[in-house]
């Protein structure tokens, strides 16, 4: 696994430990790279059909892995069709252009299409530490200030927090 021409990990390392999403993300990357090659696509080549369908995509994947995976697959020129449980809606909405909700009541099936605007995606991403590290820095400073105030009141040092 490379980031900015530097090796940051290997597939075997990722497969040994981690959550279900951390296990699946590398497999999605491999499948996407293989499909992009089969479609004759590469990074930055957006023309032509290039569909990748992933079932249960939102199951056990966190927002950081979902974003990294979908960004990479899109960079290959692939159009994503994702099937996910409704419990994954909060994780996935920020990386989607639109989604379709399906409701079944016996023999009846209802479909509702929802468009996620650029402003909506920006709002959904606005509190994610991996995209906005300044939020984490501010939170660390807030906790440090709170601890300092508590120490001053009690007159004893508390546990140290480092950034």
Least confident of 42-51, 78-87, 92-101: 42-51
Structure tokens at 96: 């989607």
* Other beta carbons within 10 Å of 81: 11
Percent share of the chain, pLDDT over 90: 31
Is the whole-model pTM more than 0.85? no
* pLDDT per residue as tens digits for the range 133-156: 898 899 999 999 998 888 888 776
Helix axis angle, 63-75 relative to 20-39, nearest 10°?
10
In eight-state DSSP terms, residue 78 is: P
Q: What is the pLDDT of residue 107?
A: 95
Q: What is the pLDDT of residue 150?
A: 84
Greater confidence, 13 or 38? 38
pLDDT surpasses 70 at 37 = yes
Q: What is the pLDDT of residue 154?
A: 79
pLDDT surpasses 90 at 100 = yes
Greater confidence, 128 or 30? 30
Question: Distances from the Cα of 79 to the Cαs of 70, 76, 122, 151, in angstroms?
Answer: 10, 9, 20, 54
Greater confidence, 90 or 158? 90
Q: What is the pLDDT of residue 101?
A: 92
């Amino acid at each position: 696994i490379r980031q900015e021409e530097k090796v940051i990990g290997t597939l075997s390392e990722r497969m040994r430990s981690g959550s279900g999403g951390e296990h699946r993300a590398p497999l999605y990357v491999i499948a996407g790279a293989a499909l992009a090659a089969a479609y004759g696509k590469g990074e930055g080549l957006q023309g032509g059909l290039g569909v990748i369908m992933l079932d249960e995509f939102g199951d056990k994947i966190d927002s950081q892995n979902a974003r990294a995976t979908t960004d990479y697959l899109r960079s290959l020129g692939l159009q994503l069709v994702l099937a996910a449980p409704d419990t994954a809606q909060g994780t996935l909405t920020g990386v989607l252009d639109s989604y379709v909700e399906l409701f079944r009541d016996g023999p009846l099936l209802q479909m509702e299409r929802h468009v996620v605007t650029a402003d909506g995606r920006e709002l959904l991403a606005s509190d994610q530490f991996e995209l906005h590290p300044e939020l984490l820095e501010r939170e660390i400073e807030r906790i440090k200030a709170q601890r300092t105030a508590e120490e001053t009141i009690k007159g004893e040092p508390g546990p140290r927090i480092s950034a």
